[in-house]
Chain A
Amino acid sequence: MKNQFVQAYKQAPWRSQMQRIVFIVVALVAIALVAYVYLSIGAATATAALQIRMLRSDIHYQQLDMAQMQNTIAELNTKSVMAQRAGEMGYEPFNPDRVVYLVIPGYKGRNTVALASPPAGGTIRPPILKPSYTQSLWEWFVENMVRESGSAGGAE
């Protein structure tokens, strides 16, 4: 009687087997999905890291090139080169005896060089990484949900 009762509510063997298979498959799919997400993020991260390295290398070489160009400008503007160019254009070095002083109304003479702005109020550098690069998946999800719900509700 007892066996009969149990027997009456027991799943058919093929159904139990199927359930186990489905459960395993679902678990595998879930694991695969998580693995896929992590692998994708990992690959994207690795690619980004590589790009950062390459960009930093580019920055370094461009800084070297910029310095070299500045050096070239300096060489092209040296006193001797400028004097030579002026001579080729027909100018002569001034002779103090032949200098005539002209008064130009309003002209106050040259100002010394200003290579940059004077000090101003303190400036805060914005973070270079977007928050989405550092926050967890959950934080990102909540933030976006809050933002979406806020924008859906319209401005107060």
Chain B
Amino acid sequence: MTTSFPRIKAISSLYLLMIALILGQIFRLQFISGEKLLSLAVDQKEEILYPERGLIVDRWGHLLATNEKVYEVGVNLVTARKWGNADTILATMYEVLGGRDPYIEAVRIWSKGEFTSYGDILAAGLAVPNGQYVRLTDGVSEADKLVLETRQDELYLAQENSRKFNKALTIEGLEFRPHLMREYPEGTLAANIIGFYTTPQQANQLMGEGVFGIEEFYNSMLAGTALQVKENLDPRQNTEIPEARDGATLILTIDREIQAMLENVLDRALTSSGAGSGTIIVLDPETGEVLGMASTPHFNPNEYGNLLETFPGKTPYNKGIGEFYEPGSVFKVITMAVALDLGVVTPETTMNDTGSFGDGSYIIYNWDRAAHGTVTMQRCMELSLNVCLATVAVNFIGSGDVYYKYLRDFGFDRRTNIDLAGELYWPLYTPVEESVQAMMAYNSFGQGLSTTAIQMASAISAVANDGIMMAPHVLKGYVKDGVQYNISPQIVSQPISAGTAHTLTAMLQASLYAETETALVDGYSVAGKTGTAEIVIPGEGYTSSLTNASFVGWGPTEDPKFIVYVWLDRPTKSPWGSVVAAPVFREVVENLVVLMNIPPDSIRLALE
């Protein structure tokens, strides 16, 4: 019996052996290699979902910053090693992309010169044991990607059709990974406000960063939230679709047409005045909204690699917020506002202008070095008399505590906190008792203190807005998760009364008619003030040959819709603000009233 059915026994043994092997394998997979395999599986399922960076639009919805589909081009190192085609890949890359690849330049800067070419990057990748992939470049357009793909096919077909397939002469292993890259369709337009967004260059850097302007200030809102997900391959376990939260779309207060107009006017003004640089700011005094802010030099954020060439040394990215200067006579608006608000002067108050002011330790002259005799406050502003304003500050206002408290109320001791990255400010020093009169005298006409253009525009906007100072801002609203949130205007302070604001506006309106006709606009009532500030040369002191020429104005005077601040830095045609800056104001306003649909006074008053 024991020797019967040998075949059955053999087959049974074979089956038993197979079952034992299967069980053994199950045991090995489950208990011996289980942990390692599990971690491998988890790693494979882990994924980072990148959100789309939020768009930036102007107040009418024109796109100022979008995202473009581009390709990262890299090499599958496993294939490249196996096929030995690194040289062909490099040659093709140079043939198609070489010589116009800003990514390589960025990598060169990041790596401090260690990587200066595709060859360096690929060699470094191949040197890594078991390296899987290396990124050669990024930001490749759809068109260039198609060229590379076509070359890939052509080279492969050429080898297929040849007698011997030479793998080294193909570019297999070249991979294309699509992603989004920041694009600024308007180029240089409003670049000083928007800033720019960098493409990540470092291998471990997953997202770029916003630099300057809106892109930096609202980076966290624009960036959205990347999501690290552990994807479960069993769909029953996935209770929701993992989705990265895209960045918010920002709606700016900027008007594209106004911004473009300001930049054009500024460029013409620089050419005609010979100024080295300049800025023009337009605010809505009622809300503090920045309608436009032109600044030089211009910059194309799509080519941010040129940053250091465009802004050498200490050149600010946005001159309107990033550079302080002695504003000069435009500051007389502030001093006169203080005096009127305190009730120590009226437009008809007189003083005797002897042509100089001082107590021996300091002396102040008028811009024309002349004495004008008995003049009213109205005439002081018309003629922009330094002696008059120094007298008002020292003799009429008198108290340094009171004067500097007003300056603090106007915001000269702090940033305006405009929502743009890179705002600077110069501290407002309250002088010691011994020098308070001299400092008040100098400060009264805008010398001896420094402000930014946005500080000046913001402070003087109180005069155009019933004495109420609104927070200057660039963000009008944002769209997040399909909901639009609009930003409410914020009151900063009320440094002067509405009555003072109206009185001063009337004085400055009359001043333009009397002495600064170059700023007047046909059909529209405007008020304003010129400013010319001498520039301090280190070691030499103030020099009258180098000036900052400014003009601040607003209108229509009964119901101001705009305030315009012009600053031209070191004009060479004429040092005077009334000659070079006032006509710029007029040109801006002539265009502004059309772009803002502001009716001429005759029609507006008839409609009221």
Contact = CB atoms under 8 A, between A and B. Distances in A.
A118 B239 contact: no
A79 interface: yes
A16 to B, nearest CB: 22
Interface string B419-455: 0000000000000000000000000000000000000
Contacts of A103: 599, 603, 607
A45 B591 CA distance: 65
A124 B69 CA distance: 33
Contact of B235 (A49, A61, A63, A78): A49
A52 B251 CA distance: 35
A80 B187 CA distance: 10
Contacts of B59: 112-113
A45 to B, nearest CB: 6
A68 B594 contact: no
Contacts of A70: 55, 63, 66-67
B251 A68 contact: no
Interface size class of B (residues with CB under 8 A): 35 or more
Contact of A116 (B67, B187, B234, B479): B479
A119 B239 contact: no
B87 interface: no
Contacts of A13: none
A96 B186 contact: no
Contacts of B240: 127-128
A147 B406 CA distance: 77
B398 interface: no
A75 interface: yes
Interface in B350-364: none
Given A64-B69, A113-B60, A119-B483, A75 B185 contact: yes
A45 B235 contact: yes
B343 to A, nearest CB: 39
B260 A79 contact: yes
A8 interface: no
Contacts of A65: 69
Interface in A37-86: 45-46, 48-49, 52, 56, 61, 63-65, 67-68, 70-71, 73-75, 77-80
B3 to A, nearest CB: 25
A115 interface: yes
A129 interface: yes
A60 to B, nearest CB: 9
B239 A134 contact: yes
Interface string B81-92: 000000000000
Highest count of chain A CB atoms <10 Å: which of B63, B69, B234? B69
Contacts of B236: 45, 129, 133-134
Nearest to B49: A60
A127 B257 contact: no
A67 B70 CA distance: 11
Given A101-B600, A128-B241, A115 B257 contact: no
Interface string A111-125: 011111111100000
A70 B240 CA distance: 28
B61 interface: yes
A2 interface: no
B235 A115 contact: no
B111 interface: no
B178 interface: yes
Contact of B239 (A61, A113, A115, A127): A127
B166 interface: no
B484 A118 contact: yes
A154 interface: no
A119 B477 CA distance: 12
A80 B593 CA distance: 22
A99 B594 contact: yes
A96 to B, nearest CB: 4
A153 interface: no
A94 interface: yes
A112 B67 contact: no
Interface in B157-180: 178-180
B298 interface: no
Contacts of B57: 113, 115
A71 B141 CA distance: 13
A128 B60 CA distance: 36
B233 A110 contact: no
A17 B498 CA distance: 111
B235 A133 contact: yes
Interface string B47-67: 000001001010111110011
A90 interface: no
Interface in A87-142: 94, 96, 99, 101, 103, 109-110, 112-120, 127-129, 133-134
B205 interface: no
B189 interface: yes
Interface string B591-607: 10110010110010001
Contacts of A56: 241
Contacts of B600: 101
Contacts of B55: 70
A52 B239 CA distance: 13
Contacts of B235: 45, 48-49, 52, 133
13 contacts: A64-B69, A67-B67, A68-B69, A70-B67, A71-B69, A74-B185, A77-B63, A101-B603, A103-B607, A112-B59, A117-B482, A127-B240, A133-B235
Given A65-B69, A79-B189, A80-B186, 14 more contacts: A52-B235, A67-B68, A67-B69, A68-B68, A74-B183, A94-B594, A96-B593, A101-B600, A101-B603, A103-B607, A110-B597, A116-B483, A128-B239, A128-B240
Q: Rank and list the top 7 A-B pairs by shortest CB-CB distance, nearest first.
A: A113-B61, A74-B63, A68-B69, A96-B590, A74-B185, A116-B484, A71-B66
Interface of A: 45-46, 48-49, 52, 56, 61, 63-65, 67-68, 70-71, 73-75, 77-80, 94, 96, 99, 101, 103, 109-110, 112-120, 127-129, 133-134
